[in-house]
């Protein structure tokens, strides 16, 4: 089985997409993070919890 790795830089994203600069990239990234953090998911799983204690 062949391993593949994907490498990209922010400059590559700016050139190949509809973003108009690194400032806009940062603004959109931070807005996305804020949106995710607005409704956090509280994990309540108990799988193998007794073994860890």
42, part of any domain: no
> Which pLDDT score, from 0 to 100, does residue 40 have?
83
CA angle 37, 28, 24 (to 5 degrees): 150
> Which pLDDT score, from 0 to 100, does residue 45 have?
77
The tally of domains found in the chain comes to 1
> Which pLDDT score, from 0 to 100, does residue 13 have?
47
22 close to 14: Cβ distance less than 8 angstroms: yes
What global pTM score does this model have? Answer: 0.44
Instruction: Quote the domain boundaries for residue 29.
Output: 8-37
19 close to 25: Cβ distance less than 8 angstroms: yes
31, part of any domain: yes
- The pLDDT tens digits of the residues spanning 4-52 come to 555 545 555 444 456 678 898 899 999 999 998 998 888 787 777 777 6
């Amino acid at each position: 089985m062949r391993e593949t790795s994907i490498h990209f830089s922010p400059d590559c994203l700016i050139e190949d997409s509809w973003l108009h600069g690194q400032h806009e990239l940062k603004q959109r990234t931070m807005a996305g993070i804020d949106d995710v953090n607005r409704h956090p998911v509280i994990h309540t799983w108990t799988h193998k919890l007794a073994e860890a204690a």
